[in-house]
Amino acid sequence: VFDRVREEWPNFHEKIKPICAEFTKPNLAISSEDMEELLSEVNVIFHCAAAVRFNEPLNMRRHNNPSFRLEFITRFRFLHGWIDNFNNINGFLVAAAKGVVRTVKCNPTNVADVIPVDLAVNLTITVGWYTAVHRPKSPLIYNYTSGGLNPLYWGDLEMNATSSFDKNPLEKPFRIPEVTLTSSHLVHQYRLFVYHTSPAFLYDLHLRLIGKKPQLMKLLTRIEKSMRLLEYFTSHSWEWSSGHTNMLMKELSPKDKNKYLLNEDMAGIPAAQQYIRKLKTIHCALKATLLVIIWRIFIARSQMAHNVWYFVLSLCYKFLSYIRVFSTLRL
């Protein structure tokens, strides 16, 4: 995650000073020495300390989340990556790209008001600058949303994600990545059983038989728990006012408005694409094998099923012939 920072600013860590603190204590239990240094050296405070679990009881959240008094955190912690949980859309996209998640309960016509994390960080820094320079008389609320300006619907996100999975696949997915959104509870439960629970059970059974520890059912349990917590947000839409955010954008210079793209390592994509093609070939072969088995068991051995099969084929042939003749007459 920090490779670019290390490359452009090798000594960036010299600008970071960790301070011991405790979320649930008054003033975060910061020592008097550290507090004195903060009061004398710090001009802008970014209050980013909060629990993000949506299923915690309200009294627990109030206890764990520091209030908006002069209580703040200055502890810096490097993460192993952008995604370390499934409490956000990125976690689900990765799980879907790996072929683990194939169904999501969601209303495809609702607005997916999601913002990339780097843009949210940029806005936070900009708000700090504006507040320190202009000193607003009252606190300003900045809603950083895209729904009112350039809405992205969950259905659009599904199509974009599917296209991205094919063009830029992840390495060695569990199966062919494809995901379907549905607002129907019954359809979602059916797809959970067919595309999540059953394959995960069989895969873990395979791991047990070869002497390895099962893992997929446990992973899916975590994912589905997080999915249930987010269902309310994927099944509803809201309208947000972004007046203060638009005002803030106008205050920036053209240089500050520039957007920078991350330079991702794309070297592994050809191998991943080849792996996806291999999975698709195996998938088609399994379908063909299953069709032959069904034919041998249910059709070839039953005269009635045999007659019904050919009757259906004849109807399809007549229908196609009718369409062809009708098209010719229109021309």
Contact 223, 101 (CB under 8 A): yes
Q: Is residue 108 part of a domain?
A: yes
Q: How far is CA 158 from CA 11, 123, 271, in A?
A: 41, 27, 24
Positive or negative torsion for Cα 120, 123, 127, 129? positive
Top-ranked range on mean pLDDT: pick from 5-14, 70-79, 257-266, 290-299: 5-14
H helical segments located in the chain: 3-8, 32-41, 58-64, 89-97, 117-134, 154-167, 185-191, 198-209, 216-234, 243-251, 269-294, 303-330
Alpha-carbon gap, residue 167 to 163, rounded angstroms: 6
Averaged pLDDT for residues 61-65? 57
Do 81 and 179 lie in one domain? The reply is yes
User: Which residues lie closer than 8 Å to 129 by C-beta, 6 or more apart?
Assistant: 44
Contact 115, 146 (CB under 8 A): yes
Single out the residue in 211, 236, 264 at which a domain terminates.
264
Q: Which two tokens stand for residue 39?
A: 């009061």
Q: How confident is the model at residue 73 (pLDDT cuts 50, 70, 90)?
A: very low
Count CA atoms within 13 Å of residue 33 on its CB side: 2
Q: Is the pLDDT of residue 137 over 50?
A: yes
Do 124 and 176 lie in one domain? The reply is yes
Q: Is residue 235 part of a domain?
A: yes
**pLDDT tens digits, residue range 16-54?**
888 888 877 777 788 999 988 988 888 777 777 666 666
Single out the residue in 264, 285, 319 at which a domain terminates.
264
Do 179 and 324 lie in one domain? The reply is no
Task: Output the pLDDT for position 81.
Answer: 40
User: Which residues lie closer than 8 Å to 62 by C-beta, 6 or more apart?
Assistant: none
Type of residue found at 44: V
For residue 268, give the DSSP letter.
T
Task: Output the pLDDT for position 10.
Answer: 87
Do 93 and 152 lie in one domain? The reply is yes
Q: Which two tokens stand for residue 94?
A: 């990765």
Do 247 and 138 lie in one domain? The reply is yes
Q: How far is CA 75 from CA 18, 23, 24, 65, 68, in A?
A: 5, 11, 14, 15, 17
Print the domain residue range for 311.
Answer: 273-330
Q: Is residue 175 part of a domain?
A: yes
Averaged pLDDT for residues 94-113? 86
**pLDDT tens digits, residue range 220-279?**
888 888 888 888 888 888 888 888 888 888 888 877 776 533 334 445 656 766 766 777
Q: Is residue 51 part of a domain?
A: no
Q: Is the pLDDT of residue 153 over 80?
A: yes
Task: Output the pLDDT for position 86.
Answer: 55
**pLDDT tens digits, residue range 160-208?**
888 888 777 777 888 888 888 888 989 999 999 988 899 889 889 988 9
Task: Output the pLDDT for position 77.
Answer: 39
Do 168 and 291 lie in one domain? The reply is no
Task: Output the pLDDT for position 83.
Answer: 46
Q: Is the pLDDT of residue 108 over 50?
A: yes
Contact 240, 143 (CB under 8 A): yes
Alpha-carbon gap, residue 72 to 50, rounded angstroms: 10
Higher pLDDT, 90 or 155: 155
Q: Is residue 34 part of a domain?
A: no
Q: Is residue 56 part of a domain?
A: no
Total tally of structural domains belonging to the chain: 2
Do 81 and 130 lie in one domain? The reply is yes
Nearest Cα neighbor of 128 from 9, 250, 248, 241 is: 248
Q: Is residue 32 part of a domain?
A: no
Do 221 and 309 lie in one domain? The reply is no
Do 81 and 151 lie in one domain? The reply is yes
Count CA atoms within 13 Å of residue 210 on its CB side: 7
Contact 236, 143 (CB under 8 A): no
Q: Which two tokens stand for residue 224?
A: 């589905």
Do 77 and 125 lie in one domain? The reply is yes
Do 78 and 208 lie in one domain? The reply is yes
Alpha-carbon gap, residue 147 to 110, rounded angstroms: 10
**pLDDT tens digits, residue range 281-318?**
876 787 778 777 776 676 666 777 777 777 777 887 77
Task: Output the pLDDT for position 79.
Answer: 34
Averaged pLDDT for residues 119-125? 83
Question: Which DSSP string do the residues of 96-121 spell out, in sequence order?
Answer: HHTTS--EEE--TTSB-----HHHHH
Do 301 and 173 lie in one domain? The reply is no
Q: Is the pLDDT of residue 69 over 60?
A: no
Q: Is residue 210 part of a domain?
A: yes
Task: Output the pLDDT for position 26.
Answer: 78
